Structure 1
């Protein structure tokens, strides 16, 4: 990487760029994570007790999660729901990404991309709250369905996890579309035409030609969507019911309501471990490396 920067910008500027990257990685990524890990292995003590006999490393903060059946069930539900959000977002995004890359004219693609991007100029909380209004018991969606005669009574979309799933798919769809779009756009259209001319149907063409080429983009989109969904707080807080709590809400409560940063750090670190494990699993399933994802 340094040699590429040196060839493009020269030696002094390349050193400065690498130094800024190193400062950012160390100061904003590595050190905060190490501090979180250190907090997670220590008990929550009064200021006067810090450095005393009780200030020792322990696994009690981690044992709290595995000893609390409610928190443990929410933890696994969050992981499963994040996988479901990722899957739904992939199914919604792939056809749209293919349309933008290989079917739409440049003007149509530009217009579609603009329509996708414009809503994201608004703050995430406001966009999420707009879905709260749309999905409300007496909201416009229920009014439309009642007016069309598709339902007999209003549906409580916000009573379970349905509203959270819809809100997350909408909130993170761009993080799935753009990597897949970039991957499919780099595919030579002659390969698709050749497959079609040789008698392959669209399903076989996608399975044998397009999806294998787009694997790095699909893997990148799945990783980004899963991590954003698993770490989301605003969407489940606004669209979720009391029975559909997200694990991030429990972490927030430990930090800011319970005042137990050590316990919150342990919960956050476990969530981070799961996210890292998911990244490894996706890379193994799609048979891609970090270099393929970073392209």
Structure 2
């Protein structure tokens, strides 16, 4: 009743219906369909719903063992790609936090209003360029004949030209850069809400700078840290275009494999199974972050 008193009956009803429609139609229904499809065999359209359309674990078994009939022959390529993606996404999320935390702290607690506007413009303007163009820009900069290798060659550094793309340096740089704002703004919102007098009091009592950040600022900013890390990890692990553009010949990223299941092999049930496995990994990561931070899910959405 208080919700309708604050917003009015008309607006309140509209908000409930709009959110309910959005949640059911664009989130719950596609997920339920994907999970159901992941337990179905690959069939011709005319056979869907027929006697051969039965639930099976074949798609998940393929992820573990490939086309082999032996349970001892692991599908090492896909399993390795999955774990490389998860581990790399966790590391890139931590790197993003290390880069963004000082910027967010400066914006929230140190910058004047004029400097804050300048920093916000410098952060936002580059993101007017879409992900595909940014990925190709990184490819041009880091190619063997690109700008970075040309500079290294002029400096006379040994080893130039360096294969940045083959070593996945370009991929990791682009993924990290693409999600800077996703990390900065939750951190900024959390740190900005802290009373600056608490920081000054800790400084007056002789606390070193690392002690202030570790025991004063970060505990207060835990919801922003958890929110930023969750979003950054999920977007990094689920990136498709950037790994396809910047992945080297030896690159193993899980999302292009999922993409191939759908659009190269046209095996939608297997693609759904692979996508659901990645979704489960993201859910486990979110729950782990909440467990470590001691937060509830609702707290990171404030």
TM-score of the alignment, normalized to the shorter chain, above 0.5: yes
Match of 1:13 in 2: 11
Match of 1:61 in 2: 59
TM-score of the aligned structures, taking structure 1 as reference length: 0.96
Match of 1:22 among 20, 37, 40: 20
Match of 2:226 in 1: 219
CA distance in 2, matches of 1:142, 1:51: 57
Aligned residues: 293
CA distance in 1, matches of 2:214, 2:256: 39
Match of 2:77 in 1: 70
The question of 1:46 aligning with 2:48 is answered no
Match of 2:284 in 1: 277
Match of 1:32 in 2: 30
1:73-106 deviation per Cα after TM superposition (whole angstroms, max 9, x unaligned): 1111111111111111111111111111112111
Question: Shift in Å at residue 140 of structure 1?
Answer: 1.2
1:270-295 deviation per Cα after TM superposition (whole angstroms, max 9, x unaligned): 10011011000001111111221010
Match of 1:114 in 2: 121
1:215-237 deviation per Cα after TM superposition (whole angstroms, max 9, x unaligned): 11010000000000010011111
The question of 1:82 aligning with 2:89 is answered yes
Question: Shift in Å at residue 238 of structure 1?
Answer: 1.0
CA distance in 2, matches of 1:97, 1:144: 31
Which moves more between the two structures, 147-156 or 265-274?
147-156
The answer as to whether partners of 2:152 and 2:160 remain within 8 angstroms in 1 is no
Structure 1: give runs of 5+ residues left out of the alignment: none
Question: Shift in Å at residue 150 of structure 1?
Answer: 4.7
Match of 1:190 among 190, 197, 211: 197
Question: Shift in Å at residue 167 of structure 1?
Answer: 0.5
Match of 2:70 in 1: none
Structure 2: give runs of 5+ residues left out of the alignment: 66-74
Match of 2:71 in 1: none
CA distance in 2, matches of 1:267, 1:54: 22
CA distance in 1, matches of 2:293, 2:270: 35
CA 267–172 in structure 1, closer or farther in 2 if over 3 Å, else same: same
Question: Shift in Å at residue 55 of structure 1?
Answer: 0.9
Question: Shift in Å at residue 49 of structure 1?
Answer: 2.0
The question of 1:3 aligning with 2:2 is answered yes
SS in 2 for 1:132: helix
Match of 1:246 in 2: 253
CA 8–173 in structure 1, closer or farther in 2 if over 3 Å, else same: same
CA distance in 1, matches of 2:152, 2:18: 54
Q: For 1:122-133, what aligned pairs fall within 5 Å after superposition? A: 122-133=129-140
Taking only aligned residues, the RMSD between alpha carbons, in angstroms, comes to: 1.2
TM-score of the aligned structures, taking structure 2 as reference length: 0.94
